[in-house]
Amino acid sequence: MTLQQLRYLIAIADYGSINAAAHNLYASQSNLSTAIKELEKELGIGIFTRSNRGVALTNEGTELLGYARQVIEQADMLESRYMNSGTQHARLAVSTQHYAFSVQAFASTAEECEAEEYEFILREAGTGEIIEDVRGFRSEIGILYTDSFNARVLQKAFDDANLAFFPLFEAAAHIFVGSDHPLAKKSIVKPEELDEWPRYSFEQGTSNSFYFAEEPFSYLPHKRNIRISDRGTLTNLLTSYNGYTVSTGVLSPEMHSGIVSIPLDCDETMQVGYLIHKERRPSDLLSRYIEKLKGIIKSNPSVNSYLA
C-alpha cells in the first residue's frame, strides 16, 4: 500500500468517477484504475462498485476511506513540517448545519490564524453529510442539533460512526421572520398562528428523513413548504417574503437588520453541539475554533449555555 494509492482513492471518492479524478490530478485513467485494483487485491476487499454513472464506495471502501484521509492528513503535516523549510501548513475543515454563529466563529478563527500557510474549509451541509464528513475524516468537526424527537436516532448514527457529541447550548425553539412580517411584533407565537405562512426548511439531499431535518417540528404536516440549500437564500426569503423558519433564536450580527427572532409557544428545546471522531486528537486550530464558538454562545442572552 502506498500514499499515492490512498491519494487516488480519496480523489475518486471525492469526484465520483475515475475519469474526473484523473482529469483533476493530471494523471491517466489507467493509472488510477490499476492503483485501485492493486489496492483491492492487496487488502482483499472491494473498494468501489462501478456503473455507467461512475463509482460508489462499498461499506468496506467507506471504512478504508476514513483511514486513508487520516493517513494522508498526517503525511501532509509531516511533509509541511520537515520538507518545507520548517513551515507548518495549518488546516481546519468544518461541516455545519446552516448556523450563522458557526460561520462567524470560522471566519474569526481564520482571521486570527498567523500560520504562513493554511487551508480553511467550511461546508454548510445536511445532517447526514455532516456525520459522514466527520466519520470519514473529511472534516475535523461537525455542528448540528438534537431534540426530543431526533435524539435517539441521531445518537445511534453517532455511535455507528464512532463519533462523540459535545453539547454547546440549549435553546427554546424560535421562529425567524422578516421585520415586516405580520407576526414580527409579537412577543411569542403559537404554533397554530404559523399555519397560513410558508415554511422554509433546508433540503437534506439523499438523507431526506424527518429525523435528519435541521428544524424542529419538521415532521408535522404543513400546507406550504419551501426547501432551500443555503443560508443566503433563506435570508433573502425571510427579508423579502412572509414566510418563516424554526431555529435556535441565535441571530448573527448581519441578521439583526431585517430579521426578527420570536419564541415559539411550545416545550421543545434544541440542544446544539459539535461532533468529533473519537480517534481524532483536536489540533490547536480546532481547539481555537471551539473556543470561538463558546465565546459567541456565551455572549448571546437567548440561549442556556452548557459552558458557564
- Summarised one tens digit per residue, pLDDT across range 259-289 is 999 999 998 899 999 999 988 888 889 999 9
| pLDDT, average across residues 277-302 | 87
The pTM for the full model equals: 0.72
Which residue among 57, 87, 117 closes a domain? 87
CA 47, chain centre distance (Å): 25
Residues 230 and 291 in one domain: yes
Which residue among 87, 112, 132 closes a domain? 87
Mean pLDDT of the chain: 88
| Distance from C-alpha of 255 to C-alpha of 266, rounded to nearest angstrom | 24
Residues 96 and 223 in one domain: yes
Cβ-proximal residues to 132 (8 Å cutoff; 6+ apart), any chain = 138, 161
**Of 76-85, 111-120, 215-224, 288-297, minimum mean pLDDT range:** 76-85
Q: What is the pLDDT of residues 15-37, one digit of tens each?
A: 888 888 888 888 888 888 999 99
Residues 117 and 261 in one domain: yes
Q: Cell 403559537 appears where?
A: 190
Residues 211 and 164 in one domain: yes
User: How many other C-beta atoms can be found within 10 angstroms of the C-beta atom of residue 212?
Assistant: 22
pLDDT for position 85 = 52
Spatial CA neighbour of 158 closest among 170, 148, 146, 168: 146
Which residue among 65, 87, 109 closes a domain? 87
Domain of residue 103 covers: 92-308
Tell me the β-bridge partners of 51: 54
Residues 37 and 130 in one domain: no
Q: What is the pLDDT of residues 121-169, one digit of tens each?
A: 999 999 999 999 999 888 999 999 999 999 999 999 999 999 999 999 9
Residues 81 and 55 in one domain: yes
Residues 126 and 268 in one domain: yes
Q: What is the pLDDT of residues 162-212, one digit of tens each?
A: 999 999 999 899 999 999 999 999 999 999 999 999 999 998 877 668 899
Residues 250 and 135 in one domain: yes
| Distance from C-alpha of 277 to C-alpha of 281, rounded to nearest angstrom | 8
Cβ-proximal residues to 56 (8 Å cutoff; 6+ apart), any chain = 48, 49
pLDDT for position 253 = 62
Quick check: 9 pLDDT over 50?
Answer: yes
Domain count across the chain: 2
Q: What is the CATH number of the domain that holds 37?
A: 1.10.10.10
